[in-house]
Every structure is written in C-alpha cells, then in structure tokens.
Amino acid sequence: MGRRKKMVERVKALMSNPDMIRNIGIVAHIDHGKTTLSDNLLAGAGMISQDLAGRQLFMDSDEEEQERGITIDSANVSMVHEYDNNEYLINLIDTPGHVDFGGDVTRAMRAVDGAVVVIDAVEGTMPQTETVLRQALKEHVRPVLFINKVDRLINELQEGGQEMQMRLGKLIDLVNKLIKGMNEERYKAGWKVDAAGGTVAFGSALYNWAISVPMMQKTGVSFNDVYEYCRNEDMKTLAEKCPLHEAVNDMVIRHLPSPIEAQEGRVGAIWHGDKTSEIGKSMKDADANGDIAFMVTDIAMDPHAGEVATGRLFSGSLTRGMEVNVSGTTVKNRIQQVGVFMGPERLEVEKIPAGNIAAVTGLKDAIVGSTVTTLEDMMPFESIQHASEPVVTVA
Ligand code: GDP
C-alpha cells in the first residue's frame, strides 16, 4: 500500500473514534511564531516535507499529489500523532494573524476544544495574546502554553541559565494572572497552566526543538542540557533529541480534551437551547446517532468542488445526499460531498460522525455562523462574537 493510501486509512479510522481526536487552534500575537510552529508540527508528523516547512507548500512523495500541486492554502489541516502507543488525529484550525485577526480567531475558537497559546519569550504577553486567550475562555476552549523563541534568550540576550528560568517562570505567572482575571472559575477548575503539570512547553519553532517537564522525563534532557546545546550552537542535536512536534503534540493529546470530554462544557457556552431536549443531550454526548447539529465556521472556494463549508459537527453523522435546514433560511439544502482533512488536503468520505471538523459542499444558503441541522426547528448556536464586542450572558 502506498504512503498516501495508508494515511487515508489511518485518518478514516481515527475520525470514527472521537476519543482519539483533538480539535485545536494555535493562537498568538502577530510574529510570535504561530506559522513557524504550525508548519513544523505538520512536517514533524510527516504531513508535509521537512524541507518545505515554513514555505507553506505541501509536497508528498506521492506522484499524484505532486501533479495536483496541492498547497497549504486551507484554513484547516490535520495530523496523525502517536502518543503512548496509540494514534491520534489532531485537527488544527488556522487562525491567521493579519488585520482581520479578531474575526478569524473568533471563528476558529468555535470549532475547537483546545488552544495552544504561543508567546515569544522575549516579548512576553502582548495585547493580542490577551484577546485570543479571552476569546478561548469565552468559547470554553482550554489553553496550554508554548513559550517560543527561547533560543533568543540565550543567543541574543545572553541570559544565564538561572536568569532564563526565572524569566520563563514569570511569563507563566503572567499568563495565569490573565486566565484568573478572565475566568476565575475555570482557573480554579484546573485551567491554570503549569510547567510541572505538563501544560507548558518551551522551545524554538524556528530551530525545531521543544521541551516540557514530561519531555525531560521521557528523553533525560535537562534544562541545563537545553541551555548548553543552545550556547554551543548545537540546536540540531537538541531538535533530534527533543523534536518540537513531539513535545507539543504530546502536550495537546495529554492535556487538551477530546470532543467527547469537551462538548458538555462547550455546548453550555455556545448554545442557549434546552439542554435537556433530545438535541441538547445529543450535542453534550457528541452522539453520532443523533440529529445533525453543525456549525459553519469557514467558507472557502475550491477550484474543483466550488464552495466548501467547514465547521464543527456537534451531533449526528453527516452523509452525502442528506437534506438539511440552514438557520435563517426556509429552503432545504442537500449535502453533496462530505470530507475531513488529511494534512492540508480535503479527503472525501462517506460519513462523518459528531466531534469532527467537517468540510461539506452543497450548503448553498449557509454563511459563516450558520447552524445546519436535520431538525425542523432548532435553536441556532450563539452568534459568533469577537471578545471585544459586548458579551452575551450565558443562561
Ligand atoms: P506569526 O506571525 O505568529 O505566524 O509568526 P511567524 O511564524 O511568521 O514568525 C515570525 C518571525 O519570527 C519569523 O521571522 C520567524 O522566522 C521568527 N521565529 C519564529 N519562531 C522563532 C524561534 O523559535 N526563534 C527565533 N529566533 N525566531 C523565530
């Protein structure tokens, strides 16, 4: 079986098992390294070539893919990562850090259950760090922290080992202060980030290494070793011993919730309908046999397939040919294709169960923010609002 076929089989098997799925976003202040991190995660997981990471060009050894010239232009990618001898599917929703920043982050946060908050170790928390964190908490999206550009502390600022540790400790405290100030209840419920607990990783997305307390235990590489590798300009060895994707993806899998774990809390925050109704229960349980509850978070133009609506499926299973209602309209739409992401590519499948990020065609009346359902009368999801806009109180 070719490499691509094997990957197709793996992705198909994993998407049918929501316990093995993590839907995440990477959020950061502009220039803190979100793009470099995302590309290197994908390359590390073998979804794009190592050499091309950072150049946003997807290439595979598979000839057909080379011919089709598939490039990363989609807002959604996925990767398969092995943790504790099990494979997981990590769906990564992109949150572009450009002018239109607020709205994009807001949409992405609706689709995911967890967020990797990236901070530049030198610059520290910045206004957009606060905005994205606030948005994540508002959408009941759990954060973990990645402190990036640690190489700069050593090689540019010439900090000593202790000085560096103190700075990193202060950064973690700052982030926790933000979390506590924004949502004390969740902070107390364990959403605080904590290096010893494994919810913080440090590293260099540019030089492809990262470390966390669990990673130190796994590899035997200590903080002092990290310091020495950087000082001696041997980050290549460090990247071999402590690959970025392993530290970050291990953290994601271990500490960010699966859709099954996350949906109960998330549905409470983004849907104001009757939680004891059939659809309320089905969404809380991510029930693949329930009615469809799909929230559209992105619409993109595909040269072959036309308009592709991507979003989060909270309940039911999407299949080809299914008739659905789109909130705010009275006509029915018929779903044509259903797909999930494999690397940056959209992979057509027969059926997608609840808990996944799904990409569908045929929803000609949907807009970003639409609720799509098989029910005749469903309370739509809370409209997507940017955190700086007035916040609607959750019932
Ligand atoms: P984004 O705006 O958050 O997507 O940031 P980018 O990923 O585009 O990175 C912004 C700049 O920081 C680029 O010039 C990167 O090469 C650089 N950069 C990213 N990660 C690191 C790192 O770990 N160390 C250093 N020294 N530079 C980095």
Render pLDDT for 115-141 as a digit per residue (tens, 0 to 9): 999 999 999 999 889 988 998 999 999
Averaged pLDDT for residues 52-76? 44
| Position 214, amino acid | P
Distance, CA of 300 to CA of 312 (rounded, Å): 15
- For residue 393, give every residue at least 6 positions away whose Cβ sits within 8 Å of its Cβ, in sequence order, or none: none
Pick from 225-229, 263-267, 290-294, 297-301: least confident: 297-301
**pLDDT confidence tier of residue 108, bands split at 50, 70 and 90:** confident
> Does residue 256 contact residue 114 with C-beta atoms inside 8 Å?
yes
Q: Which atom of ligand 1 is nearest to the CA of 54?
A: 7
- For residue 152, give every residue at least 6 positions away whose Cβ sits within 8 Å of its Cβ, in sequence order, or none: 120, 121, 122
Q: Which atom of ligand 1 is nearest to the CA of 39?
A: 7
> Does residue 148 contact residue 123 with C-beta atoms inside 8 Å?
no
Q: Give the phi and the psi of residue 359 in degrees, each rounded to 5.
A: -120, 120
**pLDDT confidence tier of residue 303, bands split at 50, 70 and 90:** confident
Nearest CA to ligand 1 atom 19: 33
- Identify the residues whose C-beta falls under 6 Å from ligand 1: 28, 30-36, 97, 148-149, 151-152, 204-206
Percent of the chain with pLDDT over 90: 65
pLDDT 10s digits, 197-245 = 999 999 999 999 999 999 999 999 999 999 999 999 999 999 999 999 9
pLDDT above 60 for 102: no
pLDDT above 50 for 61: no
Q: How many other CB atoms are found less than 10 A from the CB of residue 169?
A: 12
H/E stretch holding 215 reads helix 213-219
**pLDDT confidence tier of residue 51, bands split at 50, 70 and 90:** low
pLDDT above 70 for 49: no
pLDDT above 60 for 64: no
Pick from 4-8, 213-217, 282-286, 371-375: least confident: 4-8
**pLDDT confidence tier of residue 386, bands split at 50, 70 and 90:** low
Averaged pLDDT for residues 329-354? 92
Tokens standing for 364? 């000609």
DSSP type of residue 141:
-
- Distance from Cα 26 to the centre of ligand 1, integer Å: 14
pLDDT at residue number 388: 52
- Distance from Cα 179 to the centre of ligand 1, integer Å: 25
pLDDT at residue number 393: 42
- CA 249, 255, 259, 260 torsion: positive or negative? positive
Distance, CA of 244 to CA of 250 (rounded, Å): 10
Distance, CA of 6 to CA of 1 (rounded, Å): 6
pLDDT above 80 for 46: no
Q: Which atom of ligand 1 is nearest to the CA of 37?
A: 7
Distance, CA of 128 to CA of 101 (rounded, Å): 9
- Distance from Cα 349 to the centre of ligand 1, integer Å: 36
Distance, CA of 357 to CA of 203 (rounded, Å): 29
H/E stretch holding 274 reads none
Q: Which atom of ligand 1 is nearest to the CA of 30?
A: 2
pLDDT at residue number 368: 86
pLDDT above 60 for 42: yes
**What are the C-alpha distances in Å from 4 to residues 73, 184, 324?**
20, 46, 32
Residue to substitute in 26, 30, 31 for testing ligand 1 pocket (most ligand atoms within 8 angstroms of CB): 31
Q: How many other CB atoms are found less than 10 A from the CB of residue 99?
A: 9
DSSP E strand boundaries for the chain: 21-28, 76-83, 86-93, 114-120, 142-148, 200-204, 209-211, 293-302, 306-315, 317-319, 323-326, 332-334, 338-342, 345-349, 351-353, 357-360, 371-373
Nearest to 153 by CA among 165, 169, 166, 164: 164
pLDDT at residue number 385: 64
Percent of the chain with pLDDT over 70: 87
pLDDT at residue number 306: 85
